[in-house]
Structure 1
Amino acid sequence: MCGTALLGHGREHFAVKKFVKYSRESEERIAIEVSIHRQLLDVRNVVPLLAATATGHISYLVFPFYKRGSVGVICYGGVRGMVILV
């Protein structure tokens, strides 16, 4: 299960993707998505992953937030991930 949220602090805004780990498989899928985002750090027009953190059974991926842009879906090894294009 995952969801997204927008967090703001002063003038900075962040998009946060939240995952609930309910099985070993879901934990592996989260790790694969983080790996994919890290591989895309140098790709032009892809919003970079700023942070990945976990507390208990919940993991968060943090991205900069942009008002303009579109969300693309990537697939890798059967895992679907979100990439924000600017």
Structure 2
Amino acid sequence: MPLTDEIESERRSLLGLCYRLLGTVADAEDAVQETYVRWLRLSDEERTAIRAPGAWLTRVAGRVCLDMLGSARARRERYVGEWLPEPVPDG
């Protein structure tokens, strides 16, 4: 089942949110993809019961990011090298 235009139009907003939370473009894209996977896993009845799909996607994306940050913290605690910030993309 393809994404509707209404759902796909939220992509830019979700990417911005996830980038601000996670700090890397790659992680933000992964989080948005996971958000869309969760949307597509819903049954048709569950999707029609959601009154504000954009709000649902934003909430789920935030939760996905928090999950990723929790696992990233565990990875950082084991990392012994120097951390360098990722450059901010132009655009």
TM exceeds 0.5? no
Q: TM-score, normalised by structure 2?
A: 0.31
Higher helix share: 2
Q: Which has the higher strand share?
A: 1
Using CA pairs under 8 Å that are at least 6 residues apart, name the structure with larger relative contact order, 1 or 2: 2
Larger radius of gyration: 2
